[in-house]
Amino acid sequence: MLFKILLLSFLVLSCTSHGNAGVTSTFVRSEWPSVDIPLDNEVFDVPKGYNAPQQVHITQGDYDGKAVIVSWVTVDEPGSNKVRYGLSEEKLDLTAEGTVHNYTFYNYKSGYIHQCLIEGLQYGTKYYYEIGDGDSSRSFWFQTPLPIDPDAPQKFGIIGDLGQTYNSLSTLEHCKQTGTETILFVGDLSYADRYQYHDVGVRWDSWGRFVEPSTAYQPWIWSAGNHEIEYFPYMGEVIPFRNFLQRYPTPYLASKSSSPLWYSVRRASAHIIVLSSYSPFVKYTPQWEWLNEEFKKVDREKTPWLIVLMHAPIYNSNDAHFMEGESMRVVFESWFCRYKVDIIFAGHVHAYERSYRISNIKYNVSNGPSYPVPDKSAPVYVTVGDGGNQEGLAQRFRDPQPDYSAFREASYGHSTLEIKNRTHAIYHWNRNDDGKRIPTDSFVLLNQYWGLNRRRRKLRKNHLHSALSDLPLSVVL
């Protein structure tokens, strides 16, 4: 079975290098209505007990994976800011003290938002943690990543444009089945901005409870989308990203960023860079200066896998949001190629699409137009804005399918990226077919640094000769 998958993937990869025409999947799924789940549904249930913590979520708290930020909300009173944690459920012998704050948004008053940094964790370890007071306290657990190491395996889930509909719920459930360890979230969280006045805050709260079965147990690496901007002059709310920034902290200071909206983290064998499509990024802006420095810090000998997250895709052949990523492409694409980014995940377009390795970096205003061409140094671009929000699917792809587009389908779903070692990762896109999860698009991703033939041969010769000899997967080498 595995062999079959890999053989298939090999064929897909062969197509990549020969630049064959891509696939537009003809599959049309029967859709559940794109409406938000009513607030009285059990998926939004408030946990029982006076002042019980709700909307629990965790994210990485430092650069290298030895810290976690735990966030939660209490509604009756501020209550304790402490997280009690430890190596077994019975022995939560460590504590960390966090902070609490609240805010208003138009006439909505938030609950008490707690954020607590837990530092000095051991790598590759399961921790149990408890928050809240007395009878209303609640317990969860998380697993820390392996130490920074080029061959450390890990499994990412990639979700975008999630919202809070029945389709969103299906995405969350399927993602749970794929057994991910960390979620890379490519922006557009709650779609609360589709509501007005007081209800905006209410739907941020309901979303926090909706995703808690995942966010309380595995870190979500957040990036912001356009639905986080929430520029609402009619309500007097004009400061961008307010609800998002109040609720979803990121470890931006650890990567010397000046904004929670762009930052990077290293996890095991991956260096993950988060960009903000809706913050200034042209030359000399803080985001540009930061990324310029951050790319220089990437050490492929330690973290071979270089992954970039953003919201607006750079290559997208859907009518929806066509070319909205063009301004960022012009500014950053040459860096993506120079630093040999492995894969770039984006959302925004409510469909799935994967590109070949292509670039369009020749163009400048004096040499006239140019077109994307096959480029071995370029990343693979994946759009997974198909989490299932209330805006529905983006069903009109441009015709004919451009040469850069390898596979596209207008269905809901999520992706997984399973890093095996420094050379190989296995990628899947999983379609939500109503109740079922159908792995649809998959391939073996060879690392852009270690996957090169020359380096791989050297590696095999020097260190891994014996380890390799009895593995059946050499078909993709």
Task: Give the active site residues.
Answer: 321
Residue 115, classed as helix, strand or coil, is strand
Count the Cβ atoms, other than its own, within 10 Å of residue 311: 30
Query: Does residue number 1 form part of the binding site for ligand NAG (CB under 6 A)?
Result: no
Select from ligand NAG, Fe ion, none the partner in contact with residue 103, using the beta carbon and a kind-dependent cut-off of 5 to 8 Å. ligand NAG
347-376: burial string, b at 16+ Cβ within 10 Å, e else:
bbbbbbbbbbbbbbbeeeeeeeeeebeebe
Alpha helices for 56-211 (secondary structure H):
166-177, 198-210
Alpha helices for 64-211 (secondary structure H):
166-177, 198-210
Among 329, 424, 428, 437, binds ligand NAG (CB under 6 A): 424
Which tokens sit at 471?
């593995």
Closest CB to Fe ion among residues 311, 357: 311
Residue 29, classed as helix, strand or coil, is coil
Q: What minimum distance in Å lies between the beta carbon of 366 and ligand NAG?
A: 5
Which residues does residue 232 pair with via DSSP β-bridges, in sequence order? 237
Q: Choose one: 161-169, 276-284, 326-334, 419-427; the region binding ligand NAG (CB under 6 A).
A: 419-427
Query: Does residue number 364 form part of the binding site for ligand NAG (CB under 6 A)?
Result: yes
Count of residues near ligand NAG by CB under 6 A: 17
Q: What minimum distance in Å lies between the beta carbon of 109 and ligand NAG?
A: 4
Q: Choose one: 30-38, 180-188, 347-355, 363-371; the region binding ligand NAG (CB under 6 A).
A: 363-371
Which tokens sit at 53?
């913590």
d(CA 460, CA 179): 30
Distance of CA 308 to the CA centre of its chain: 9
Among 17, 88, 104, 292, binds ligand NAG (CB under 6 A): 104
Compose the 84-103 pattern: x for residues touching ligand NAG by CB under 6 A, - for all others: ------------------xx
Query: Does residue number 367 form part of the binding site for ligand NAG (CB under 6 A)?
Result: yes
In total, the chain counts a number of residues equal to: 477
Select from ligand NAG, Fe ion, none the partner in contact with residue 317, using the beta carbon and a kind-dependent cut-off of 5 to 8 Å. none
Count the Cβ atoms, other than its own, within 10 Å of residue 171: 27
- Residues of this chain that interact with ligand NAG (CB under 6 A) are 102-104, 109, 362, 364, 366-367, 420-421, 423-424, 464, 467-468, 471, 473
- Residues of this chain that interact with Fe ion (CB under 5 A) are 188, 225-226, 348
